[in-house]
Amino acid sequence: MRRILLVSVLLASPLAGCASRNDPEFGELLAVSGTVTRGGQPVTGGVVRFHSEPDDGMFIINSEVKGNGQFTLSTVRATGKGERKPGVPKGKYKVVYTPSLGDQTSGGSMDPIELPAPVPVVAPDTGMKIDLPPARRK
């Protein structure tokens, strides 16, 4: 009887995980905020997004950039209800800035701007500087 019970438990265990989908855990999140600049001047709005390397698509890390160039990153679970928490997991990130509509209408480009090198996040950083490359001449 014990053998039958043990076999039943072993066979049913993998199926138990299939019955409900578990959302990924956030893990430790580090406070990251700072300023986005171009040519030494703060940008006047937009969105900054950090893409993990490699990007598993489980979390979205981003922030609105205020009119004075300041941002505070948060992490959104890309599955389930899209829960958002302040902070960023440790890791290396491809950083992409998208200008606000106001910047676009004043002669700027609508194109997202990707930093040339990945940005590491290894500890809390409340003074991060994201200096965008100069605008390309057309």
Domain-embedded: residue 10: no
Domain-embedded: residue 23: no
Domain-embedded: residue 26: no
If one compares 56 and 84, the residue with the highest pLDDT of the two is: 84
Q: How many domains does the chain have?
A: 1
| Residue 34 contacts residue 50 (beta carbons within 8 Å) | no
Domain-embedded: residue 64: yes
Domain-embedded: residue 4: no
Which pLDDT score is estimated for 137? 59
Domain-embedded: residue 107: yes
Whether the ω angle into residue 54 lies within 30 degrees of 0, i.e. cis, is: yes
Q: Is the pLDDT of residue 110 over 60?
A: yes
- Return d(Cα 128, Cα 130) in angstroms, integer: 7
Give the residue numbers spanning the domain of 49. 32-132
Mean per-residue pLDDT of the chain? 82
- Return d(Cα 101, Cα 103) in angstroms, integer: 5
Domain-embedded: residue 119: yes
Domain-embedded: residue 22: no
Determine which of 12-16, 43-47, 127-131 has the lowest per-residue pLDDT on average: 12-16
> What CATH number should be reported for the domain holding residue 105?
2.60.40
* Stretch 65-70: mean pLDDT: 96
Instruction: Enumerate the H helices of 32-123 as residue ranges.
Output: 101-105
